[in-house]
Structure formats: structure tokens, C-alpha cells
Amino acid sequence: MLSLKFIQENPDLVVERLAVKQFDAREIVDQVLDLYRKRNETQNEVDSRKAEMNKLSKEIGMLFKSGKTDEANAAKARTAELKESIKEMDQEFDRIDEELMNLQVQLPNIPSPLVPEGKTDEDNLVVEEGGVKPELGENAKPHWDLAEQYDLINFELGVKITGAGFPVYKGWGARLQRALINFFLDQARENGYTEVQPPYVVNEASGFGTGQLPDKEGQMYHATADNLYLIPTAEVPVTNIFRDVIVDAKEFPIKYTAYSACFRREAGSYGKDVRGLNRLHQFDKVEVVQIAHPDKSYEVLDEMVGYVKSLVEKLELPFRVLRLCGGDISFTSALTYDFEVWSAAQERWLEVSSVSNFESFQANRLKLRYREEGQKKPQIAHTLNGSALALPRIVAAILENYQTADGIRVPKVLVPYMGTEIMN
């Protein structure tokens, strides 16, 4: 979240930059400034009364010793009044602090100057395209028909067991999932990421730390009996490893990777865009997370974008990279690049990765700091994460782009993991 000090010192900048995200921050910023002023006034008054109380406390004994009983008793009575008023003002200070926090968490992250102007995903900027779109011919099938034809994925069985958006992978379909997960994890390790296996449910503090809570869109599954949340991405538990931690600057770059199942309610999703694997409530994903020095975080972002690009290139899938506009970028991100792969049978682009720099936004919530050698006061770190990669639409693109009359060809890099060159 944005720090109170930053908001107080840069109110007009906050309003101006958040307008790029199509967010009108003026009312909230004005309320923050007003409460910030009241809090300072309250603190100053508390300090003044404490000083008076301390002065009187020292005088009371001397007054009694001097025989000035009436003055001593009056000083005692005044001290009691001051103590009670300070208690009330401390309560008011806590109330103001709580109100300030409620306002702070409503403000999105400040977008980077690199974020394009725009209101919807149609305004995103295509920064790169790669690969060759396959020519499949008139008989090409979408992945949901191919999944049924070769018994790879059973969508109806998932509906029976749980509901729509929870498919059952079978045979070669299940092996393709496992092959992709292992391939992505192996690639991450080779690129310096430490693999971790995190929990799939997190507490409220973890959800708040990475910005999923408060959940304004109602997209998280909530286990109410224990007040735990199913993770929407491994970013949440992995980044929270560093909650309330001060890292040594010598440890940079800090690079973690994790495979997890991901759970999203996808409230409000409907129509053709949700058919098959296009949009699910449960899906698998390999995530990469980095904790970076603020001076290096945009270099790290470029490196992470290059890494994700290498994955789609090795899978030989046509892709494009988009820099998200202000109206499409997430609440927590300062700058995001999306990767999309071409779905040949659907003749549309499918998002398979988001790579984001959150700058200090998450770290402020997490109280994640670093300390330079010889530095007494720790500083706020920067956090970044990326999908590397999300499986459902990668699987959809592989099934469609690699389909032949004899079955589904397996991308060359996955053959050692699959033990076959074709799924049929």
C-alpha cells in the first residue's frame, strides 16, 4: 500500500497518477490529509499533556514537603485529569489510525510512467510478437473437442464431482499436465530460482500482505470456519515467506519458484470465453517470485519477462507480449506485461502469464525490508512475480496448434517428460 508519508507529501501526484488507472483518488486523499492533520494535532496535544503531567508529578512531592498541602492536592487532581484525558486522546488516536488504514487500503498502487493510457484491454500496447501461427485447415478442432476425442480431459465428470470449471484430466491429458509442471520447474531451477512447495490455503494476514484482501471482487474462496483462504496463485504464500522479515542486501537477487493448484471464483465470467480450458475455477500454475533492491527492480522485471518469453519459445507457440494500460493493470501492480499465445482453432489470443513489478506496494503491507551493509535503518524492498506458466491455456494452445490427423504432436521439449511424440 502507499505509505501515509508518501500520500501526505505528494497528494496531487497520487491523484494524477491514479487517474491513469481510471481511479478517482481525490476524495480519499483529502480524507487522508485531514485525518493525518488531526492525528498530528492529537499527538502533539498528548505530548503536551504528558509533559505537564510529568512536571506536576515532580512538583507534588516537593509541595508536600514544603507543607503546601492544598497546592499538592490540587496538583494531584490535575494529574488525574490529565491522565484520564490522555487515555481518551490515545483512544481517539487509535480510532484515527484505524480510519487511516481503512482509507489507505482503498488506494491502488501508483502506476509506472511506462504504463500506457487506456481504459480497457483493447488499449494494451503490443510490444513484441514471435513464432509462426500454424495453418490447420478447415477441419481443425477446438481443444474441448480434441480433449473429448482423445479422452484427455473430461469436463462433464468435473461438473459431476464439483461443478463447472473443475475439469478432470485423464491419461495423456494428466501426463501432459505433469510434464509441463516438471518442465517449468526444471527451467526455473536452471535459471537460479529456489523451488518451494507452499500451502494452498493462507490466513488473512497473508492475503492482506500481497493485496488480495480486502477482496473487493469476491474472487477468493473463503473457508469461513477457520477463516482461511484458498490461494489464487502461489505468489501469495511464497511472497509471504518474507512477511515481517529484514533481508541482507547481500542476498539479492532473491528468486523463488513454486508449483501450486490455484483457486479463483471468477465471479461474473460467462459466454464463449469460458468454454473448455479458457477460464477455470481450479488450475495449475508455476510461479516465479523475486525480492529485489529498489534500484534494480525494473532490470529484474525485464529479466523475468525475458525468462517467460524463453518458455513459450521453447514450446514453439506463437506469442505476443503486451504492456498493460492503466485501465487494465491490477490494483497492486506498478507495471505489468502479459503474455498471450495463439489458439489456432479458436483463432484468438489466450493470456498465459502476467509478469509484474509491485515496487514497494506489497512490501509496505508485508513490512518486508532490507538492510545495506553499514546501514542502521532498514529500507522497504520491491517485490515482483510472474506466471511461468499457467497451464490451462498453454494446454489448450498445444492441443489446438499441434493437432494432426493422427493425434496431438508433443512439443519437442516435452517429449523426454512425456515418453512419446504423439498423444492419440
Q: Is 39 annotated as a binding residue?
A: no
Q: Is 265 annotated as a binding residue?
A: yes
Q: Is 264 annotated as a binding residue?
A: yes
Backbone angles phi, psi at 269, to 5 degrees: -80, 140
DSSP class of residue 122? G
DSSP class of residue 353? E
Report yes or no: 387 and 352 within 8 Å, Cβ to Cβ: yes
Q: Is 59 annotated as a binding residue?
A: no
Distance between start and end Cα atoms, the chain: 50
Report yes or no: 299 and 274 within 8 Å, Cβ to Cβ: no
For 407, residues 6+ apart whose C-beta sits below 8 A from its C-beta are 150, 422, 423, 424
Report yes or no: 136 and 345 within 8 Å, Cβ to Cβ: yes
Report yes or no: 410 and 323 within 8 Å, Cβ to Cβ: no
Cα angle for residues 168, 173, 176 (degrees, 5° grid):
125
SS3 track for 237-280 = HHHHHHCCCEEEHHHCCEEEEEEEEEECCCCCCCCHHHCCCCCC
Cβ count near 384 (within 10 Å) = 28
E strands within 311-368? 319-323, 335-343, 348-357
Q: Is 266 annotated as a binding residue?
A: yes
Query: And the C-alpha cell for 188?
Result: 526455473
Query: And the C-alpha cell for 292?
Result: 529485489
Cα angle for residues 277, 278, 283 (degrees, 5° grid):
55
Backbone angles phi, psi at 51, to 5 degrees: -65, -45
Report yes or no: 179 and 243 within 8 Å, Cβ to Cβ: no
Report yes or no: 194 and 257 within 8 Å, Cβ to Cβ: yes
Q: Is 352 annotated as a binding residue?
A: yes
CA dist., res. 277 & res. 143, Å (int):
8
Q: Is 98 annotated as a binding residue?
A: no
Cis peptide before 253 (omega within 30 of 0): yes
The residue with cell 512536571 is 55
For 102, residues 6+ apart whose C-beta sits below 8 A from its C-beta are none
Q: Mark the binding-site residues for ATP, compressed into ranges.
A: 264-266, 351-354
Please state the residue numbers annotated as binding site: 233, 264-266, 287, 351-354, 385
Mark the binding-site residues for L-serine, compressed into ranges: 233, 264, 287, 385
